[in-house]
A and B are shown apart, each in its own frame.
Chain A
């Protein structure tokens, strides 16, 4: 006691040490995760993307479906707001009015004409009223930005005049939702099957392992395709969406189930499990209260790692036309539009969603990898 009061540095050292030894698993992981710069950047990108996906209706000026299309501006190039032009500067950023005309000068073809006059400026305003959307049953119609006349398209428009900016963000939302539902279904199946196999062992384990391995040997995209082919054309876009997410989940569980099983096989012979069993705890209780908490962190890491695969699968499915369809709008649906040479030559802005897609997957991979390193207690000693 006197020792500690005499030397405050050792006391604080002691405290630090104590904090280290009594730190929960979560605190330790967070400490290690913070040191990993690329993972931290990935985490920020991910958070920003997720938030912008969730608040897409507010952040984007127009409805992402055909209802929000701009008949006056089809296949239109991105419009970048500017502050100055030949007619002078303005404190409020503006874009120009465009008009589709057809006359003898243009050989009677529809041509988009940009009017650069002072009176043709469209000024950007914030918190404008626009199409309505719903959160928690309350209807809103305020959007982050918009213009006073006509419409503004930061990323341009597609062939039907839909705003690519609005579509990109709502697509992130959809893809994340599909991924989340898929991951959770896969997770519950893996938990039950892997849990039972790992806890009981013996012939139950062998049988379940065999089924798991069988599902693993079937190439999943062809299987997705076979399952997705069941969807009758008459289904609404929403039921299609749920079906696809379910299918993704139903096929994605084996890898996770295997890991859970392996972990349980080693954990179940530990003393604390024996103690619980001797106290008369039932199997379900032991799994839920003692075994699962012993590796929650690993499960979370696995979930994050499997997330980009879900997003990729959904994208591949939608891309070949078996997944989601308009008006539900996912990154895969958007990628469908870039498949023609015409787009590469004339409408390069169609590729903007591709950048978001790559950023999303990369962010997930970086965060997943960082979390995996952080959750591994031996990662420091390896270096």
Chain B
């Protein structure tokens, strides 16, 4: 038990270290964007008619703490970021955590649902594909998963949306109907939300599923040829019981391990899909922040939060794997 908690502690500190590194990269990127907050604030004032001198900009820099050394500002930013406080966006002049708030959790929820959907389909289908000798089934599955890669999500989103607009007269965009957009959470709003959310979840899950089927199939066909499976079959275990008890358990361990990176891949698609479906959650905010207004505070906050959730999932799956897989447990606790 002591060794196990030591393992958890080491993993946790590694996760925090990773986050610190990420935050450094993100912060550096934010700093590299030309123009700082002081200039932005004052250029806004300038546009309102005030007369601005270089001395004013300098004074504003001191007020915002931008004259402090780089590392110190980074430390300050990180300390706040871990508390969920990202300061104000200089362009929108709004508090970022207020701006993101619910939107970020909605996006995370969408991505996680897509991930669950992907594996709910991929695990049975992948196992089936690995065990089946049916050439037709195998080839058609291969083609579908190749298409999952070649038909990028944004194209799929676009097609579904355009076709539904033309044939059903419904636009399928957004996450809420108009009347529910700013309403408080209640049962009707949840129903409305689910009615809209299936499309982004399906689109986000599309290529993830294709990818996951490939992985499950490859891992499963690796395991199925191993001697312990033959031995189990020789002892009289057969059919589904054989598959579930022996090779499937081993084949799924690496998948659990890579869930974090799968989530990463789904996050990648989110901004583009969000742009097409005009979802007003974090993905499109990111595009807004980067493509239109160069809002580095907002972009940095979003990337930090995304990475934070991926690191957290990696950490959780590491622990989960150590708890469930006796081989991993043994390598930690010692034999």
**Which residues of A are interface residues toward B (Cβ below 8 A)?**
210-211, 213-223, 225-230, 232, 308, 312, 315-316, 319-322, 335, 338-339, 341, 344-345, 354, 358, 361-362, 365-366, 382
* Chain A residue nearest to B159 in the complex (CB): A344
> Are B32 and A365 closer than 8 Å at their CB atoms?
no
Which residues of chain A come closer than 8 Å to B147, judged between CB atoms?
362
Nearest first, the 7 closest Cβ-Cβ pairs linking A and B are A361-B150, A219-B267, A221-B268, A229-B290, A214-B21, A225-B290, A362-B150
Given contacts A219-B264, A365-B149, contact A225 B17 (CB under 8 A): no
Interface string of B9-41 (1 = CB under 8 A from A): 000001001100110011001001110000000
User: Which of the listed residues B149, B286, B302 has the most CB atoms from chain A within 10 Å of its own CB?
Assistant: B149
Which residues of chain B come closer than 8 Å to A339, judged between CB atoms?
158, 276
Tell me the bound Cα distance from A210 to B16 in angstroms.
12
Which residues of chain A come closer than 8 Å to B51, judged between CB atoms?
none
Which residues of chain A come closer than 8 Å to B162, judged between CB atoms?
341, 344
Tell me the bound Cα distance from A358 to B276 in angstroms.
19
Q: Which of A210, A322, A341, A345 contacts B17 (CB 8 A)?
A: A210
> Are B303 and A219 closer than 8 Å at their CB atoms?
yes
Instruction: Tell me which residues from 263 to 278 in chain B have a Cβ below 8 Å from any Cβ of chain A.
Output: 264, 267-269, 271-272, 275-276
* Chain B residue nearest to A213 in the complex (CB): B18
**Which residues of B are interface residues toward A (Cβ below 8 A)?**
14, 17-18, 21-22, 25-26, 29, 32-34, 146-147, 149-152, 154-155, 158, 162-163, 165-166, 221, 225, 260-261, 264, 267-269, 271-272, 275-276, 286-287, 290-291, 294, 296, 299, 302-303, 306-307, 310-311, 314
Tell me the bound Cα distance from A182 to B312 in angstroms.
30
Minimum C-beta distance from B290 to chain A (A): 4
Q: Which of B17, B25, B150 contacts A218 (CB 8 A)?
A: B25
> Are B314 and A217 closer than 8 Å at their CB atoms?
yes
> Are A341 and B166 closer than 8 Å at their CB atoms?
yes
Tell me the bound Cα distance from A322 to B310 in angstroms.
25
* Chain B residue nearest to A342 in the complex (CB): B162
Given contacts A335-B155, A338-B158, contact A366 B146 (CB under 8 A): yes
* Chain B residue nearest to A214 in the complex (CB): B21
Which residues of chain A come closer than 8 Å to B155, judged between CB atoms?
335, 354
Which residues of chain A come closer than 8 Å to B34, judged between CB atoms?
232
Tell me the bound Cα distance from A222 to B307 in angstroms.
11
Interface on chain B toward A: helix, strand, loop, or mixed SS?
A: helix
Which residues of chain B come closer than 8 Å to A321, judged between CB atoms?
291
13 residue pairs bridging A and B, Cβ less than 8 Å apart = A210-B17, A217-B311, A218-B306, A221-B267, A221-B268, A221-B269, A225-B290, A226-B296, A226-B303, A316-B272, A341-B162, A354-B155, A361-B150
Which residues of chain A come closer than 8 Å to B311, judged between CB atoms?
217
Tell me the bound Cα distance from A315 to B268 in angstroms.
13
| Additional A-B contact list (14), CB under 8 Å, known A211-B21, A226-B296 | A214-B18, A217-B260, A219-B267, A225-B287, A226-B303, A227-B29, A228-B290, A229-B299, A312-B149, A316-B154, A341-B166, A345-B166, A358-B151, A362-B147
Tell me the bound Cα distance from A319 to B158 in angstroms.
12
Minimum C-beta distance from A228 to chain B (A): 8
Which residues of chain B come closer than 8 Å to A366, judged between CB atoms?
146
> Are A221 and B17 closer than 8 Å at their CB atoms?
no
> Are A219 and B268 closer than 8 Å at their CB atoms?
yes
Which residues of chain B come closer than 8 Å to A345, judged between CB atoms?
166
* Chain B residue nearest to A338 in the complex (CB): B158
Minimum C-beta distance from A382 to chain B (A): 7
Q: Which of A229, A320, A382 contacts B272 (CB 8 A)?
A: A320
> Are B146 and A362 closer than 8 Å at their CB atoms?
yes
> Are B225 and A225 closer than 8 Å at their CB atoms?
no
* Chain A residue nearest to B20 in the complex (CB): A214
Which residues of chain B come closer than 8 Å to A230, judged between CB atoms?
32-33
Minimum C-beta distance from B263 to chain A (A): 9
> Are A341 and B268 closer than 8 Å at their CB atoms?
no
Minimum C-beta distance from A317 to chain B (A): 9
Given contacts A312-B152, A361-B149, contact A210 B21 (CB under 8 A): yes
Minimum C-beta distance from B40 to chain A (A): 15
Tell me the bound Cα distance from A80 to B310 in angstroms.
52
* Chain B residue nearest to A223 in the complex (CB): B303
> Are B18 and A210 closer than 8 Å at their CB atoms?
yes
Which residues of chain A come closer than 8 Å to B268, judged between CB atoms?
219-222
Given contacts A354-B155, A358-B150, contact A217 B307 (CB under 8 A): yes
Which residues of chain A come closer than 8 Å to B18, judged between CB atoms?
210, 213-214, 217
> Are A365 and B146 closer than 8 Å at their CB atoms?
yes
Which residues of chain A come closer than 8 Å to B32, judged between CB atoms?
230
Which residues of chain B come closer than 8 Å to A214, judged between CB atoms?
18, 21-22, 25
Minimum C-beta distance from A175 to chain B (A): 13
> Are B302 and A222 closer than 8 Å at their CB atoms?
yes
Tell me the bound Cα distance from A303 to B257 in angstroms.
25
Tell me the bound Cα distance from A319 to B152 in angstroms.
11
Tell me the bound Cα distance from A344 to B162 in angstroms.
7
> Are B290 and A219 closer than 8 Å at their CB atoms?
no
Tell me the bound Cα distance from A312 to B260 in angstroms.
21
Minimum C-beta distance from A70 to chain B (A): 27
> Are B275 and A320 closer than 8 Å at their CB atoms?
yes
Minimum C-beta distance from A337 to chain B (A): 11
> Are A315 and B303 closer than 8 Å at their CB atoms?
no
Tell me the bound Cα distance from A366 to B162 in angstroms.
29
